[in-house]
């Protein structure tokens, strides 16, 4: 009787058709993920600024002849208002003035939130 029982420690072979379907599904999933990220990048570049306010050059930066750039990631709401600003880089003396100005910007409306990176140059 022992020879007629299946061995539970040995897995049944996976049919070739199932392996093929797995790889096709995985390929389609990866293609969809790649396509969605490409669409997001396109959406980031599609929104135009309707109104912008130039930052005020900080007095401390003027007195100490500090110049440079502030890089900001801007999250834009569907109505075009700035929802959030994240600092990506720049002199701490200059960054806050850039953040304060960009928060007042208005972009064209869009169906969904988008984000973009803004670079603001400060030169005396």
CATH number at residue 118: 3.30.2420.10
Q: Which residue has the higher pLDDT, 13 or 76?
A: 76
Q: Which residue has the higher pLDDT, 36 or 22?
A: 22
Domain assignment of residue 91, yes or no: yes
State how many domains the chain has: 1
Q: Say which residue the tokens 């959406």 belong to.
A: 43
Q: How far is CA 21 from CA 16, 18, 96, in A?
A: 9, 5, 53
Residue span of the structural domain in which 51 resides? 47-122
Domain assignment of residue 27, yes or no: no
Question: ∠ CA(25), CA(38), CA(114), 5° rounding?
Answer: 125
- Name the E strands within 1-124: 49-51, 68-76, 82-90, 106-107, 114-122
Domain assignment of residue 19, yes or no: no
Residue 38 pLDDT class (50, 70, 90 cuts): very low
Domain assignment of residue 31, yes or no: no
């Amino acid at each position: 009787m022992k020879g007629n029982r299946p061995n539970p420690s040995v897995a049944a072979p996976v049919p070739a058709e199932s392996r093929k379907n797995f790889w096709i599904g995985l390929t389609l999933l990866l293609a969809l993920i790649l396509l969605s990220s490409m669409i997001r990048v396109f959406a980031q570049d599609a929104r135009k600024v309707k109104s912008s306010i130039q930052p005020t050059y900080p007095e401390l930066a003027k007195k100490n002849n500090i110049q440079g750039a502030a890089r900001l990631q801007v999250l834009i709401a569907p109505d075009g208002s700035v929802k959030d600003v994240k600092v990506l880089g720049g002199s701490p003396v200059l960054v806050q003035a850039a953040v304060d100005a960009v928060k007042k910007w208005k972009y064209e409306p869009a169906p969904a939130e988008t984000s973009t990176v803004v670079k603001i140059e400060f030169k005396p």
